[in-house]
Amino acid sequence: MIVTQKTTTLGGITVPDTPVISQAMELARQFSPPFLFNHAMRSWLFAARIAQLQATHHDAEVVAVASLLHDIGLTENFDGPLRFEVEGANAARSFAVEHGFDERRAQLVWDTVALNSTPSIAFYKEPEVALCTSGIFLDYAGNLRSAMPQEEIAQVVNAFPRLKMKHQFTRCICCLVRSRPNTTYDNFARDFGERFIPRYTAPSTVDFLMNSSFEE
């Protein structure tokens, strides 16, 4: 937990400025396309500001690292055979451990990244997980816009432009669906496959039950 911290202002939002946050930011910048890096930055700044406005006690470094790295599993350098949220969570946890996070803080980072597209669970976990998810979904879908003044949201977007986020993110997820469809059946990427990818067919969890090896 940060006790005495240096701060900086990004997009009009005052946030902690520590070595591990700077290094997480640089990692995201180095390996992410610009639209995805800007999404990570906006998500962090939104999460940090929501925490300030709601006076939510939280570990600011965990929120920063998890927000900045939450989509790292979508990048070429960190992809793999698992669903992208888990690949990203594994990479983010390794980063956290390498930079001195203890087991609990590293696990919070993992949980946040792994659950970043599952708000129906993430909103009910620890404050760090819930805050990051709030920031991510504010930026992704415009949810929770009432949690921040509109002029502050505009400042963040102006500092870190969306760069055709809707189109770019759709293309990114569709590439994932085409290349690793088996990792998309039980997460939000399935919706992109069903909407945009011809002949994409996801297995049904009802069939899993009905076709199980048990007699009844």
Instruction: Report the distance separating Cα 2 and Cα 68, nearest Å.
Output: 18
- The pLDDT score that the predictor gives to residue 1 is 45
Helix (H) or strand (E) holding 9: strand 7-10
Write the CB contacts of 105 (distance below 8 Å, at least 6 apart in sequence).
59, 61, 62, 96
- The pLDDT score that the predictor gives to residue 215 is 87
Angle between helix 60-68 and helix 19-31 axes, rounded to 10 deg: 10
Residues of the chain with pLDDT under 70: 1-4
- The pLDDT score that the predictor gives to residue 177 is 97
- The pLDDT score that the predictor gives to residue 143 is 85
Q: Which domains does the chain have, with CATH numbers?
A: 7-163 (1.10.3210.10), 168-216 (no CATH)
Q: What is the mean pLDDT of the chain?
A: 96
Q: Tell me the pTM.
A: 0.95
Helices (H) and strands (E) in the chain, counts: 11, 2
- The pLDDT score that the predictor gives to residue 5 is 77
Helix (H) or strand (E) holding 14: strand 13-16
- CA 25 distance to own-chain centroid: 13
Surface-to-core class of residue 125, CB atoms within 10 Å of its CB (0-12 exposed, 13-18 middle, 19+ buried): middle
